[in-house]
Amino acid sequence: MLIGIDVGGTYTDGVVFDGDHILSSVKVPTDDNNLLQTLLQVLDELLNSLQNVDQISRIVLSTTLVTNILATGRGERTALVLIPGFGLPHNAYQITTDTFFLNGAIDFRGREIEGLDENEIITLAQQIKKMNFKRVAVVGKFSNRNASQELEIKELFQQIMPEVSIFTGSQVSNQLNFPRRAVTTFYTAMILPEWINFAGQIEAALKSRGLQSEIHILKADGGTMPLHKSLEKPCETVFSGPAASTMGALAITMDTKNSVVVDIGGSTSDLSLMIDGQPLYASRGAEIEGKLTHVESFSLKSVALGGDSPIIYNHETGKVDIAASRLGPAACFNGNAATVTDAFNQFYELGLGDTKRSNNFLGEIAALAQIPINELCDQVISQVFERLETEIKAMFLQWENEPAYRVWEVVNRSPFRLDRIIGIGAAAGIIVPQLARRLGVESVIHAYSPVANALGAAIVRPTMSVQLHIDTQQGICIAQPGGEVESPGNLNNMQMEDARKLAIEILAEQAVQAGLQDYAQDYSIQMEEQFNLIRSYHRSGKIFDVAVQIRPGFIHKYKGVKI
């Protein structure tokens, strides 16, 4: 038996899944001020529905904790120390008010092109110490190619302020993009104390309930990681809720169509794309608090429009609008405001809840606007469709306009052809079929659609990836995660097959270390590049970049759902 719990913005959903069906499900309102409490409430209700808790082999949690910490500014005050070298002006990297700059520079081949200034580092350390920072993030441009300057600074800092925790960019990411690496490292430093605390409480709570099951956290890339792994990279847990929904949509369809997944919640709708049955990734990484990061995430679009979005009459414009902030449930479900759900309920005669209440509350607004109720509903519904349609089309366009760096990528690109819309979330059944009809495609609303997010969390497999960069001329062989790698044999004789094999071996080794040996063979090649270095018409070396990953997918036992 498997448990999946998704802590969303409005509601927290949980399911117990076994074999090919959901045994029980729970939905409770989320208490933003006490996510742990909400989570445990759902867990306890799920456990209460079971005879024997010993059979629970795995619990997967998706939580908005990291997003909440960053959004509310609860993260610990952190100094960001950058080594930007030459290029953009320093003000382009003023990521936070506590940003400091140091001399030094590494180039794209990992060569030191400007040395560090030890006195400058010591002076800065003393300043940071005086300012009472407990956390420091140190990030250098091209530290992904050569981490030595970051590490040297870390060592000097540690000597001067041993009580301070120091994070380096190279331990967080080795992808190109210095500002994203800086932001990701900075956020990691900020949120880690609270995350560690949270993880500890979860572990204790499970222990006190006598649970022996594995505990995993859901990531933005639609995969899981063991709880202890999340202590290294807590940022990866952002946007795991929408990722859970996307994976839930995949779980109930399990085919290779092109889909848009529309997860309609209380106050927001989350959109994601699936191409040939594979979720589409955000090419620029997850954007957290308005800043791009190196967190691998699905391409998501969140629209401030949900089933509980209230309908209002705007006295200034004389028009009917849909407000952004949720006041409570729909009138038909005993709420005290007319909502989007009520408009659909009335217009399409869906018979949801107390239809009289829908009618009454809508009537009040219709009277203000001096139009018939049906006209009001029609206006609201048109607005809902137009906004969702606009966002969906913008997502297609964005996908079609992704940059391409190879001839074959340009030649083989075709416009996005939509097959269907998959509706997820409680209000999806109300809105999605009509939306699909408008777009002239089929829609999928499954009996598990309302809890597909929790289902997705319950059954997805762990993901991990290894990126390997090899520069035979510079004698560089670096993996992320892991850092420098001992090359098997002479680096100069390395071929693409060898580089690929090495990356796969490193991935397998790391999977075993993380306790994920069952998935070590499920890898796929995410990216491979090789360049011949030509100097004066002669080959003088090679550069390889290989990324292997365990892609998002389902645990081996999962073969589809029965109702």
Partner 1 sequence: MKPTGVLFFPAFDWAITPTHPEREERLLYTRDQLFEEGIMDLPQIREYHPRLASPADIARVHFVVPDLDSHITEAHLVAAGSTLVVADAYMNREIKNAFAIIRPPGHHAMSVSHGNRGFCNINNEAIMIEYMRKKYNIKRVAIIDTDVHHGDGTQEIYYNDPDVLFISFHQDGRTLYPGSGFTSELGGPLAWGTTINIPLLPRTTDEGIHYVIDNLVLPILKEFKPDLIVNSAGQDNHYTDPLADMRFTACGYAILNEKLAPDIAVLEGGYSVETALPYINMGIIMAMAGIDYSNLKEPDYDPGMFIESTKNMNAIEQIVKQQLAVFRHRQDVIEENRRTGPAWFNEYKRIFYDTDYIDEEQKVRISNCPVCSGVRLIDSSAQHRNGRLYDVFCISIPINLCPECHEKGNTIYKDMIKNGKYDLVYLQDRIDDKYLCYDSKTDQEQSY
Give the residue with the Cβ less far from partner 1, 315 or 538: 538
**Single residue of 48, 71, 88, 126 touching partner 1 by CB under 8 A:** 88
Please count the helices (runs of H) and the strands (runs of E) in the chain.
Answer: 14, 27
**Single residue of 11, 133, 142, 333 touching partner 1 by CB under 8 A:** 142
Cβ-contact 482, 548 below 8 angstroms: no
Give the residue with the Cβ less far from partner 1, 135 or 291: 291
- Contact between 177 and partner 1 by CB under 8 A: the answer reads yes
Name the one range near partner 1 by CB under 8 A: 102-110, 224-232, 238-246, 258-266.
102-110
Handedness of CA 454, 455, 458, 464 (dihedral sign): negative
**Single residue of 89, 162, 290, 489 touching partner 1 by CB under 8 A:** 89
Give the residue with the Cβ less far from partner 1, 113 or 327: 113
19 contact partners, CB below 8 Å, separation of at least 6:
none
Name the one range near partner 1 by CB under 8 A: 28-36, 106-114, 196-204, 509-517.
106-114
Give the residue with the Cβ less far from partner 1, 52 or 414: 414
Give the residue with the Cβ less far from partner 1, 111 or 437: 111
**Rg, C-alpha atoms of the chain:** 26
Compute the least distance from the CB of residue 392 to partner 1, in Å.
Answer: 19
Provide φ and ψ at 85, rounded to 5°: 60, -145
Q: Which two tokens stand for residue 442?
A: 């089929």
- Contact between 393 and partner 1 by CB under 8 A: the answer reads no
Q: Which two tokens stand for residue 72?
A: 């509310």
Give the residue with the Cβ less far from partner 1, 512 or 534: 534
DSSP-assigned states of every residue in 369-390? HTS-HHHHHHHHHHHHHHHHHH
Total binding residues for partner 1 by CB under 8 A? Answer: 45
d(CA 336, CA 350): 19
d(CA 274, CA 271): 10
CA-closest candidate to residue 243, choices 47, 439, 456, 98: 456
**DSSP-H helix ranges across 29-112:** 35-48, 65-71
- Contact between 414 and partner 1 by CB under 8 A: the answer reads no
Compute the least distance from the CB of residue 95 to partner 1, in Å.
Answer: 11
CA-closest candidate to residue 452, choices 240, 298, 302, 244: 244
**Single residue of 204, 531, 559, 560 touching partner 1 by CB under 8 A:** 531
Compute the least distance from the CB of residue 92 to partner 1, in Å.
Answer: 7
AA identity, residue 204? A
d(CA 41, CA 12): 10
Compute the least distance from the CB of residue 268 to partner 1, in Å.
Answer: 25
- Contact between 290 and partner 1 by CB under 8 A: the answer reads no
* Count, residues in the chain: 563
Q: Does residue 133 sit in helix, strand or coil?
A: coil
Give the residue with the Cβ less far from partner 1, 162 or 290: 290
d(CA 15, CA 187): 31
HSE value, Cβ hemisphere, 13 Å, CA-based, for 35: 23
- Contact between 105 and partner 1 by CB under 8 A: the answer reads yes
From residue 111 to residue 130, the character string flagging contacts with partner 1 as x (rule: CB under 8 A) and all else as - is --xx----------------
Give the residue with the Cβ less far from partner 1, 404 or 447: 404
**Single residue of 196, 324, 367, 404 touching partner 1 by CB under 8 A:** 404
Cβ-contact 201, 36 below 8 angstroms: yes
- Contact between 527 and partner 1 by CB under 8 A: the answer reads no
**Single residue of 76, 107, 378, 391 touching partner 1 by CB under 8 A:** 107
309 contact partners, CB below 8 Å, separation of at least 6:
267, 322, 323, 324, 326, 339, 340
**Single residue of 204, 532, 556, 559 touching partner 1 by CB under 8 A:** 532
Q: Which two tokens stand for residue 562?
A: 């029965």
**Single residue of 210, 315, 408, 486 touching partner 1 by CB under 8 A:** 408
- Which residues sit at the interface with partner 1, rule CB under 8 A? 84, 86-92, 105, 107-109, 113-114, 141-142, 144, 176-180, 284, 292, 400-408, 410-411, 529, 531-534, 536-539, 543
